[in-house]
Structure 1
Amino acid sequence: MKLEQMKIKELLDTSHTIAEKLFEGHEYPWEVLGDINGFIESLGASLPENEYKKIGKNIWIHKTAQMAPTTAMGGPMIIGPKVQIRNGAFLRGGVILGQHVVIGNSCEIKNSIIFDEAQVPHFNYVGDSILGYKAHMGAGAVTSNVKADKGLVKVHAEDGDVETGRKKFGAILGDHAEIGCNSVLNPGTVIGRNSNVYPLSSVRGCVPSDSIYKGQDNIVVKEAREVETEQEAPEAPEKGKGGLKVVK
């Protein structure tokens, strides 16, 4: 995956997040991670009071959102329309949840933007990351956001490494990305649009759009599905042959 393919416009439809303006003026999605807190505080103050309620310090929750009573959270944070937050979720702050997002039981989220209709449904950790429109993480899948040596995170593109200048950076998931159960996305991972990661994977680097990650050296391009515009009527069975079609 080349650096050109990691630009915001290649990975994310920013019309599917209330944070659309945060991405303006930036080229790559990880560039906004350091600005999330300030953006929330600024945007939250302008949200309509008839739609959002403010609780605690800089936490804005849409009145249609559903939250389990066991949810733990700290600001700043914006929780959008019809979000579901289930038992034992821990939202640590710096979080923007789009409409119809699902945060499941025992999940932890911090300093991340979750686009509309994305799902983080069971035992997941998402830190310093961006999940695109309708992205989905299988049960137990996590983003690892700090390198073992505590060094600055790099993005490993085909045409060279990119310095992000960030000590904490988890992953970028393009729109419709699907992460298999119990997978680990190592620091600086980028998953392209419409791509799938097999369960139990440890992903380092980048997965191009429209691909399937089966292993570090086994990434295949998805085959395009042919859409049939017309469906032929089935042939009538021959007399005396029941419902079976006779092959001559």
Structure 2
Amino acid sequence: MKAADLFEFPASIPFADFFRADALPWQWIGQIKKALASGFETNVPGSIPPGVRISGEVYIHPSVELPAFCSIEGPAWIGEGAQIRPGAYIRGNVIIGAGSVVGNSCEYKNCLLLEDVQTPHFSYIGDSVLGNGSHLGAGVILSNLRLDQKPVKALVDGKSVDTGLRKFGALVGDQAEVGCNAVLNPGSILGKRSLVGPLTPFKGTLGPNKLLVSKPETSIQER
């Protein structure tokens, strides 16, 4: 498995050299901090609403409108046409691609959102990569730490692989979707155009074009 199986890195994000298509996909998580540390042009709007807090090195594209209140801690890079909604909390080492939705009361930490990613309501996105056009329903949680705090393992070709990462949320492939109030456990991988249904706890790897639902019973089938 390689990153190109899940994602196509968009030209609009200026860190392509750090995210190799032939890398193991979870290696992209460790590259987020390195990419931002390499340096980038900062830009913050001249007029900031009273309820908005911005600190550290931050780039916000001029087309991005700030909401009534939110918190953005750098380093962070936010691309053209992204929407930041009230109550969003960006905790640092975050890259948000063009056209993406940074949702109300959502928290983001060490994550990469490619283009047109939809995370509109009440989610936690930590130590994760979300592919182009992917979507998280309201209340989706990407859990990034095992209860025993041991390194996270990924399921690849039916085998458990040690990723070497203590914190690893999820890799959500291009155009994949996760239904409302689902929980993706540490190390979850969703293939391109796959779908996890609402209220579904999931751990493992779901292949491309697959549908997983837990009610009335768990099943995997072609979309």
The two structures have a TM-score, normalised by structure 2, of 0.89
Match of 1:136 in 2: 135
Match of 1:39 in 2: 35
Rounded Cα–Cα distance in structure 2 between residues aligned with 1:217 and 1:162: 24
Q: How does 1:82-93 map to 2 (within 5 A)?
A: 82-93=81-92
Deviates more, 1:64-73 or 1:165-174: 64-73
- Cα deviation, 1:146-183, whole Å, max 9, x if unaligned, reads 00111100002233111110110000000000100000
Rounded Cα–Cα distance in structure 2 between residues aligned with 1:142 and 1:91: 15
Rounded Cα–Cα distance in structure 2 between residues aligned with 1:175 and 1:96: 16
In structure 1, runs of 5+ residues without a counterpart are 223-248
- Cα deviation, 1:58-81, whole Å, max 9, x if unaligned, reads 111111112213111211100111
Match of 1:60 in 2: 59
Where is the helix percentage greater, Structure 1 or Structure 2? Answer: 1
Deviates more, 1:31-40 or 1:177-186: 31-40
Query: Aligned residues, how many?
Result: 212
In structure 2, runs of 5+ residues without a counterpart are 46-53
Q: How does 1:199-214 map to 2 (within 5 A)?
A: 199-214=198-213
Match of 2:20 in 1: 24
Whether 2:92 is the aligned partner of 1:96: answer: no
Deviates more, 1:92-101 or 1:209-218: 209-218
Rounded Cα–Cα distance in structure 1 between residues aligned with 2:37 and 2:12: 16
Match of 1:14 in 2: 9
Q: How does 1:1-248 map to 2 (within 5 A)?
A: 4=1, 7-15=2-10, 18=13, 19-24=15-20, 26-44=22-40, 47=41, 52-53=43-44, 56-215=55-214, 218-222=219-223
The question of whether the paired residues in 2 share the 8 Å contact of 1:107 and 1:124 is answered with yes
The one-letter code of the counterpart of 2:35 is F
The question of whether the paired residues in 1 share the 8 Å contact of 2:55 and 2:72 is answered with no
Rounded Cα–Cα distance in structure 2 between residues aligned with 1:25 and 1:221: 26
Q: By how many angstroms is 1:33 displaced?
A: 1.5
Task: Name the larger-Rg structure.
Answer: 1
The question of whether the paired residues in 2 share the 8 Å contact of 1:144 and 1:170 is answered with yes
The one-letter code of the counterpart of 2:124 is Y
Counting aligned pairs with the same residue, the percent is 37
Question: What is the root-mean-square deviation in Å for CA atoms of aligned residues?
Answer: 1.8
Deviates more, 1:88-97 or 1:155-164: 155-164
The two structures have a TM-score, normalised by structure 1, of 0.81
Where is the strand percentage greater, Structure 1 or Structure 2? Answer: 2
Deviates more, 1:187-196 or 1:65-74: 65-74
Rounded Cα–Cα distance in structure 1 between residues aligned with 2:115 and 2:146: 29
Rounded Cα–Cα distance in structure 2 between residues aligned with 1:188 and 1:17: 27
- Cα deviation, 1:78-102, whole Å, max 9, x if unaligned, reads 0111111111110000100000110
SS in 1 for 2:38: helix
SS in 2 for 1:128: strand
The question of whether the paired residues in 1 share the 8 Å contact of 2:126 and 2:143 is answered with yes
Q: By how many angstroms is 1:25 displaced?
A: 6.9
Q: By how many angstroms is 1:15 displaced?
A: 2.3
